[in-house]
Amino acid sequence: MECKDIKCPIHGQLSTRGAKLSGKVVSAKAKKTAIVEIDYTRYIYKYERYLRKRSRIPAYNPECINAKEGNVVDIAETRRLSKTKSFVVTGIIK
Ligand SMILES: [Zn+2]
């Protein structure tokens, strides 16, 4: 199938810049959107310990990649695509 999506990072006009992250898709219910959950740790000097943190990033999910719930994906920062989306899914890791 030919991909005609202009917001596709591989076949379209969309360029990426800035942060590149990877995480797990926790929701792919909204059209062409994947909610990607990212786990990371932050060091807290006062307690000399790591704090586990988690953030959810809404990312554009192009039809030719079509990430599903449970997939581990790469996402990259791009221009603002909607009110909440400024990341795009660039590939499925597993
Ligand atoms: Zn495509």
- Quote the pLDDT of residue 94: 83
Quick: pLDDT tens for 27-45. 999 999 999 999 999 999 9
- Pair type for strands 72-78 and 87-92: antiparallel
Q: What is the distance in A from the centroid of ligand 1 to the CA of 33? A: 14
Q: What is the distance in A from the centroid of ligand 1 to the CA of 51? A: 37
Residue ranges covered by each domain of the chain: 16-92
Q: How far apart, in whole angstroms, are the C-alpha atoms of residue 15 and residue 38?
A: 22
- Quote the pLDDT of residue 3: 84
Q: What is the distance in A from the centroid of ligand 1 to the CA of 54? A: 29
CATH number of 16-92: 2.40.50.1000
Quick: pLDDT tens for 41-91. 999 999 999 999 999 999 999 999 999 999 999 999 999 999 999 999 999
- Quote the pLDDT of residue 1: 64
